[in-house]
Amino acid sequence: NLSAASSCSPAAKLATSTSLIKPHSLAPKRMGSLDTNPMAFSALPNDKAAFEPLNPEDVRAYLHKAVDFISDYYTNVESMPVLPNVKPGYLQDELSASPPTYSAPFDVTMKELRTSVVPGMTHWASPNFFAFFPSTNSAAAIAGDLIASAMNTVGFTWQASPAATEMEVLALDWLAQLLRLPTTFMNRTSTGRGTGGGVILGTTSEAMLVTLVAARDAALRRSGSVGVADLPRLTVYAADQTHSTFFKACRLAGFDPANIRSIPTGSETDYGLDPTKLLEIMQADTDAGLVPTYVCATVGTTSSNAVDPVGAVADVAALFNVWVHVDAAYAGSACICPEFRHHLDGVERVDSISMSPHKWLLTCLDCTCLYVRDAHRLSDSLETNPEYLKNDATDSGEVTDLKDMQVGVGRRFRGLKLWMVMRTYGTAKLQEHIRSDVAMAKMFEDFVRADDRFEVVVPRNFALVCFRIKATGAMTEEDADEANRVLMENLNKTGKAYLAHTVVGDRFVLRFAVGSSLQEERHVRSAWDLIKKTTSSIMD
Amino acid sequence: NLSAASSCSPAAKLATSTSLIKPHSLAPKRMGSLDTNPMAFSALPNDKAAFEPLNPEDVRAYLHKAVDFISDYYTNVESMPVLPNVKPGYLQDELSASPPTYSAPFDVTMKELRTSVVPGMTHWASPNFFAFFPSTNSAAAIAGDLIASAMNTVGFTWQASPAATEMEVLALDWLAQLLRLPTTFMNRTSTGRGTGGGVILGTTSEAMLVTLVAARDAALRRSGSVGVADLPRLTVYAADQTHSTFFKACRLAGFDPANIRSIPTGSETDYGLDPTKLLEIMQADTDAGLVPTYVCATVGTTSSNAVDPVGAVADVAALFNVWVHVDAAYAGSACICPEFRHHLDGVERVDSISMSPHKWLLTCLDCTCLYVRDAHRLSDSLETNPEYLKNDATDSGEVTDLKDMQVGVGRRFRGLKLWMVMRTYGTAKLQEHIRSDVAMAKMFEDFVRADDRFEVVVPRNFALVCFRIKATGAMTEEDADEANRVLMENLNKTGKAYLAHTVVGDRFVLRFAVGSSLQEERHVRSAWDLIKKTTSSIMD
């Protein structure tokens, strides 16, 4: 009798010998340890009740504490230094070096969060954060992510959670409509099931990697390669302004580092890819017996928001049967507004496009949307079919198994938060959000242009302003570089603003990225005042 | 004057002409649209206030609704069918095919969640879920994930969020101590900074991929390969019971499919990898001029929880200078209990190990911990250094930039929830959690063994029981396969339990995985009763 075995376990014995035992309704019969180990007893001096990690009332209590923390955090984050003043290793010095043996009230955990962790954060949620690109966010997204964490589905196949898969497909199709992507990228169109498809991944890098692998395998098949024998002949292309993660993804996929072409750009194209150069290089590679395989065009580079001409790149690529991927990680979100959509012109001729709502569409990390014109071209390379995942729905061919469009197998309920954002706020407010950020960036740009100590280095396309103290009088460009470097350091040291930099055309440039979700016009104005004041102090 | 320009925008004009405008304190001066587009006005008929996606009071209200939903969900999920009865495309039929133009109260979103989404979920949180491996969870983990979503840091470098990086390093070092990993895998030891390191990734697949790439590049360097010219000569190894995602990860990294060795196993080793066979195959490959590069040993396979002998595999691999990775995705969590730790014996001689607290350590998705003995061997292949991410802390060499240990650049505040789990519950309760699940599995195993219609197919190592109706009397093994298939289908159709299957030694086998976090002994008993009853109905 196993029930008897259970109640004879050491833990159960101890539990029944104490008056602290919980009433039956609160203490479910989880079995005590049947293994012999002294550690088995170590929980008991502290807490004799059965351990219920998801007790609904504990969940409610813990989460209410977390929610109150968050609401307070948003109220107060404005006054916290954006960039913390901590030394490497500070947290290990503050917190215990080893895990505790015994449990503690959740308040202890929350207290350590407040006193040790928060002071060491770089506050991306601060309205005074202007570095990198903002990680925009919203109440609806956080709620969606919270529910996903709680449901904790692992939707590798449709059957493993139909609603999770279908929600992801639906959210991607909705977003495709917001972006006016051609229906060839959609999973379901008004006339039935489409040939395209999408998947939500963690990062743009993964979107690049899986499409690179699909393009690589297709090129190998076309070349009649035995295995990967022809891999050293395959070449890939991108402008030198393309995010470094692209060049890394190429290496991950096994492309020869010598065959990864970084095409120089300059101010004559506002640092966008020149299709004529692309054509020349692809032709030269072909003439040399190499096999052009993949080109990445960026809409809104990380460095300076340059835009590669999508249609012209696609036209060149078509001559060589090359896979075209569009990386619109940041600026893709702007394309939900008709006035920005032209940056995607020609997208109907590319093979794949990715954009990250976790950057600029009010959806917290991780949320990168990848669309592929022919979903089978991805799954041909990424499909797995182990016995333990086989099921009737997959066999029917009527469902999408999202594991076959990503690196891994497991996956959160990723579509929920993105759907919640669109469902709750609606298209018009999302457009208003983009336009508000762009208007604030334009205001900042006008401030810079009106002050003759500064220059705007590249035309502003979206909500990023690239500017610098310009070399005037006896100041060389190198002097100006140094002045800008000092300006950035001094600004960031104040804790009242955080700006990052880049190098454009060999010049050190400050990046002012508008759009942190708590940001208002007054924060942009204050930052500008601080920049002016700090500049005066270092220029005197 | 830009302030004037702002207040002259169409949106601002409309706002000031209505009595519905919010008081100043609630309606911050976000700029109206300066762009000319009819869509700019579409939000206004509905809501004339400025759009504040992170208004702290909205955040509080939305999240409290989400928390109440979750608490209710946990209370009621037991009574919901574990596996839903929905057809492919059901959700697209229920919800709008296009995103709404106007915003809606959050209650509308929550209502659609309840009425359309929940009925289509496979309820991984149900205590009647026995399929795959459980995705265990806890109040502390969900709270940690929630706070991470709200802070929304993007900790690619240490500087981009010192506390996020240090918390991840700390949590990994804590877990390394729980697992009694050698200090060579730790970032910081009692004697100072270690040479090892860890990173939290989304999936085991990514852990395999990045270590495969590091091993690949090291092998190419050793062979003196020009670029990837020698890639077609590299070989990789794993038992045939290894998760299919390993073989996929090898293909992603560019290994020749013909060089990916799946080594047969059988009942004589309980489906664990035979080191003698491994030695023979590696020697034969070497003799053929190939370059053994990487071997994956699994502790607790997905199919049947087989355990490859880590130390013996490492000894063989050492003869060929081969990278050894240990995939302990599921069973690694059990190794926090001394009585299970022997499954990792020899880990001090491997190069890397990964395990997923999102499987069995009460931490919601995504949370896969990868440890590498020499962290530089990862970052040598994965480092990027674009200008816009350069900073003094990185230049000092004193910090870890976690982007250099993963595929992508961006990353959530991943360490927080894992730390919160260990900090709140403590080692003893986490061990209790593992032991309780194992005890319940043992109880189920004993039920099966006591019923002579069934057999336990492989020895139970952890909390997974692989069993089947056995072929008796006139029944052939094929008849038994079919009976087990029908049993599984009939069980799953009841909605009262969800079991998955596998194939072991060519036989169709049911997998009964204990451990869903709301599970109690009574759920295991009920499932067994249901199995007995359903078996009787199909065997009659």
Q: Which CATH architecture has domain A197-386?
A: 3-Layer(aba) Sandwich (3.40)
A54, A83, A243: residue with CB nearest B137: A54
A59·B43 Cβ contact <8 A = no
Q: Which residues from B are below 8 Å from A121, CB to CB?
A: 151, 153, 161-164
Quote the CA–CA distance of A451 and A445 in Å, as a whole number: 10
Per-residue pLDDT at A121 exceeds 80: yes
Residue B236's SS3 state is strand
Pick the CATH number of B153-411 from 1.10.8.80, 3.40.710.10, 3.40.640.10, 3.40.50.2000: 3.40.640.10
Q: What is the ipTM of this complex?
A: 0.92
How many A-B residue pairs are in contact by the CB < 8 A criterion? 664
Q: Which residues pair with A502 in a beta bridge?
A: A509
Q: Assess contact for A323 and A295: CB atoms under 8 A.
A: yes
B280–A contact, CB cutoff 8 A: no
Domain ranges of chain A: 2-41, 197-386
Quote the minimal CA–CA distance from A41 to chain B in Å: 8
The A residues from 31 to 50 touching B (CB cutoff 8 Å) are 31-37, 39-40, 42-44, 46-47, 50
Of A323 and A189, which is predicted with more confidence?
A323
Distance from CA of A191 to the nearest CA of B (A): 12
Cα(A237)–Cα(A239) distance, integer angstroms: 7
Helix (H, G, I), strand (E, B) or coil at B357: helix
**pLDDT reading at A123 higher than 80:** yes
Q: Read off the pLDDT of each residue in A44-65 and give the average, rounded to a whole number.
A: 85
H helices of B77-203, where?
A: 90-94, 106-112, 139-151, 162-178
- In A40-189, where does DSSP find H-type helix? 56-76, 90-94, 106-112, 139-151, 162-178
In B175-284, where do the E strands start and end? Answer: 188-189, 192-193, 197-201, 234-239, 260-263
Structure tokens, A47 = 């807490």
- Distance of alpha carbon B251 from alpha carbon A382, whole angstroms: 9
Short-list B416, B417, B214, CA closest to B324? B214
Q: How far apart are CA A148 and CA B142, in angstroms?
A: 9
DSSP helix, strand, coil percent of chain B (3-state; round to 5):
50, 10, 40
- Please give the structure tokens belonging to residue A111: 């207290």
Task: For residue B206, give how far its alpha carbon lies from the nearest alpha carbon of chain A (Å).
Answer: 7
Among B409, B422, B376, B367, CA closest to B207: B367
A115-129, A300-314, B398-412: the lowest-pLDDT one: B398-412
For B468-480, the pLDDT digits (tens) are 999 999 999 999 9
Distance CA A513, CA A530 (A): 16
Q: Is the CB of A74 less than 8 angstroms away from the CB of B59?
A: yes
The predicted pLDDT at position A360 comes to: 98
Q: Distance from A483 to chain B by nearest Cα, in Å?
A: 16
Closest partner CB to B388 (pick from A39, A95, A501): A501
Give every strand in the sheet of B507-513, ordered side by side. Answer: B454-456, B464-469, B507-513, B500-504
Closest CA to A162 of A322, A2, A3, A392: A392
The residues, any chain, with a CB within 8 Å of residue B320's CB and separated by 6 or more, are B282, B286, B292
The structure tokens listed for B401 are 């930039």
Average pLDDT over residues A380-402: 91
B439 neighbors B190 (Cβ within 8 angstroms): no
CB atoms inside a 10 Å sphere around CB A280: 13
**Catalytic machinery residues of B:** 388
Who among B33, B43, B124 is closest to A152 (CB)? Answer: B124
Preceding amide of B446 cis, omega within 30 = no
CA distance B312 to B275: 6
Contacts of A247 in chain B (CB under 8 A): 384
Helix (H, G, I), strand (E, B) or coil at B73: helix
Please tell me the predicted confidence (pLDDT) of residue B47: 54
Closest chain A CA to residue B140:
A62
Q: What is the pLDDT of residue A400?
A: 87
Cβ neighbours of A152 in B, within 8 Å: 124-125, 135, 137, 358, 364-365
Mean per-residue pLDDT of chain A: 91
Of A40, A162, A447, the CB nearest to B122: A162
Contact B2, A446 (CB under 8 A): yes
Q: A342 CB contacts (<8 Å, ≥6 apart)?
A: none
Closest-CA residue to B43 (of A379, A240, A430): A430
Gap between the Cα atoms of A311 and A330, Å rounded: 19
| pLDDT over 60 (residue A110) | yes
Closest CA–CA distance from residue B473 to any residue of chain A (Å): 28
pLDDT at A138: 98
The burial of A70, by beta-carbon neighbours within 10 Å (0-12 exposed, 13-18 middle, 19 or more buried), is given as buried
Position A192 pLDDT exceeds 90: no
Give the whole-angstrom CA distance, residue B135 versus residue B119: 19
- What six digits make up the tokens of B66? 């989400």
Q: Spell out, as residue ranges, where chain B has pLDDT lower than 70.
A: 1-48
Of A74, A388, A425, A498, which one is the catalytic site residue? A388
Q: What is the pLDDT of residues B26-54, one digit of tens each?
A: 334 444 333 333 333 344 444 567 899 99
Compute the distance between CA of residue A306 and CA of residue A299 in angstroms, rounded to an integer. 7
Cβ–Cβ below 8 Å for A429 and B227: no
Q: Are the beta carbons of B121 and A164 separated by less than 8 Å? A: yes
Q: Which residues contact A310 (CB under 8 A, 6 or more apart)?
A: A297, A299, A326, A343, A344, A345, A346, A347, A350
More confident residue, B61 or A35: B61
* Interface test with chain B among A37, A406, A409, A528, by most B beta carbons within 10 Å: A409
Per-residue model confidence (pLDDT) at position A237: 98
Q: Is pLDDT of A478 > 50?
A: yes
In angstroms, what separates the C-alpha of B400 from chain A's closest C-alpha?
9
Contact residues for A413 (Cβ-Cβ < 8 A; gap 6+):
A147, A148, A151, A152, A153, A155, A161, A164, A167
Probe site for chain A from B24, B58, B71 (most A CB atoms < 10 A): B71
Query: How far away is chain B from the Cα of A441, in angstroms, using its nearest Cα?
Result: 10
Chain A contacts in chain B segment 396-425 (CB below 8 A): 396, 398-399, 407-412, 416, 420, 422-425
Residue A234's CB: how many other CB atoms inside 10 A? 28
Q: Which of A47, A90, A188 minimises the CB distance to B162?
A: A90
Q: How far apart are CA A249 and CA A255, in angstroms?
A: 9
- If contacts are CB pairs under 8 Å, which of residues 324-383 in chain A contact chain B? 337-339, 356, 358, 362, 364-366, 381-382
Question: In this structure, what token pair is assigned to residue B313?
Answer: 């595999």
Q: Look at B438 and A409 and tell me if their CB atoms are within 8 Å.
A: no
Specify the range with the lowest mean pLDDT, choosing from A189-193, A337-341, A422-426, B487-491: A189-193
Does B29 contact A at CB distance below 8 Å? Answer: yes
What is the predicted pLDDT for the residue at B190?
Answer: 74
Task: In whole angstroms, give the CA distance from residue B47 to residue B359.
Answer: 44
Helix (H) / strand (E) containing B44: none
Kindly report, residue by residue over A489-500, the tens digit of the pLDDT: 999 999 999 999
Closest chain A residue to B139, measured at CA: A59
* A371 within 8 A of A197, measured Cβ to Cβ: yes
Segment A201-207 shows an average pLDDT of: 98
Predicted local confidence at residue A47, as pLDDT = 54
**Residue appearing with tokens 């069993």:** B467
* Chain B residue nearest residue A36, CA to CA: B339
* Residue A188, strand partner residues: A193
Residue A76 touches chain B, beta carbons under 8 Å: no
pLDDT at position A191: 76
pLDDT tens figures, A268-291: 999 999 999 999 999 999 999 999
> Which of A34, A93, A149, A175 is the mutation pick for testing B, counting most B CBs within 10 A?
A149
